[in-house]
Amino acid sequence: MEISIPVITSVDVEAPILDVIVKRRSKRAYASTPVSAEKIQSLFEAARWAPSSINEQPWVYIYATNDQPELWNKILDVLNESNKVWAKDAPLLVVSLARKSFSRNGNPNGSAHYDVGAANAFLSLQATQLGLNVHQMGGYDRHRAIENLNVPNTYEPVVIMAIGYPGNADVLPEHLKQRELAPRVRQTQQSFVMNKVF
C-alpha cells in the first residue's frame, strides 16, 4: 500500500520566522549598481560560518564582477540560454563548488553538496540582509564550467549564483516578468511535517 501525504500549497507564512527568510526570493531583474568589495566579502563570510560534516568546509567559490569581463564571461558562457537571458544583467556571478573528498583522509565526502547548499543558503540570507538578490541556478553546462574555469578533478561545480541589487521587472521578457511579480508559493507544513511514523 502506498501512503502519500496530500500536498497543499499556500502563499502565507504559517508561523513567525526571520525577516530575511520572508524577504529572500530568487528575482531575475537586476539594477546596474555594482556590488562593493566589502559586500562581496560579507557574502563569503556568511558562507564561511555555515555548518558542515566534521567541519570539512568543502566549499570553494569562484566569483567575477562584470567589470572583470574575461572571467565574468567565462561564467556567463556556461549558463543555459533560459538563464543567460536575465543573468547577463547581474553585476556579480558566483560559481559554488564542492571538494569531493575529505581533506583529512581522502575518503569520498557524501555530505559535500549538502554542505555547499548550506553555505549558499547562509550567503543568500546575508545577501538579503544587505539588500542584494541571489538567484541560484542549476541550469548550466557542467562540462563547460569545468573546462572554462579549469576546475581540477577533486572539485565539482554545484550551483551558479547571479547576484545584484533588485531592478525593474519591466526589462524582463513578459513570461519572466509575470513570475517575478507572482507571490511565492510553498507547500504547507501539513504536507511535509509529521509527528508520527510513515
Ligand X SMILES: Cc1cc2nc3c(=O)[nH]c(=O)nc-3n(C[C@H](O)[C@H](O)[C@H](O)COP(=O)(O)O)c2cc1C
Residues that bind ligand X in the complex, under the rule CB under 6 A: 25-26, 83, 136-139, 159, 184
Shortest Å, Cβ 197 to ligand X: 29
Q: Would you say 54 or 181 has its CB closer to ligand X?
A: 181
Q: How far apart are CA 82 and CA 59, in angstroms?
A: 26
Q: Would you say 23 or 36 has its CB closer to ligand X?
A: 23
Shortest Å, Cβ 109 to ligand X: 18
Q: Would you say 34 or 139 has its CB closer to ligand X?
A: 139
Using only C-alpha atoms, what is the Rg of the chain? 18
Q: How far apart are CA 161 and CA 159, in angstroms?
A: 6
C-beta of residue 14 within 8 angstroms of C-beta of residue 191: no
| Helix H or strand E segment including 23 | helix 19-23
Q: How many CB atoms lie within 10 A of CB 58?
A: 24
- Cell 567541519 -> residue: 55
Shortest Å, Cβ 151 to ligand X: 18
Shortest Å, Cβ 184 to ligand X: 5
C-beta of residue 120 within 8 angstroms of C-beta of residue 136: yes
Q: How far apart are CA 113 and CA 119, in angstroms?
A: 10
Shortest Å, Cβ 38 to ligand X: 25
Q: Would you say 26 or 73 has its CB closer to ligand X?
A: 26
Q: Would you say 26 or 52 has its CB closer to ligand X?
A: 26
